[in-house]
Structure 1
Amino acid sequence: MATSNPAPSVYSVTEIIGTSASSWEEAAKNAVETAAKSLRDLRIAEVCKLDMRVDGGKVVEYRARVTLSFKYEA
Structure 2
Amino acid sequence: MAVVKVIELVGTSRHNWTDAVENAVVEAGKTLDDIAGVEVTNFTANIGESRITEYKANVKIAFHVH
TM-score computed with the length of structure 1 as normaliser:
0.84
Partner amino acid for 2:33?
R
Question: 5+ unaligned residues in a row in structure 2: which ranges?
Answer: none
Moved over 4 A (4+): none
- Consecutive unaligned residues in structure 1, runs of 5 or more: 1-7
- Tell me which of the two structures has the higher relative contact order, counting C-alpha pairs closer than 8 angstroms and 6 or more residues apart: 2
Instruction: Give the letter for the 2:56 counterpart.
Output: R
Q: May I ask how many residue pairs the two structures share in their alignment? A: 66
CA RMSD in angstroms, aligned pairs only: 0.9
Q: Give the TM-score normalised by structure 2.
A: 0.93
SS in structure 1 at match of 2:31 = coil
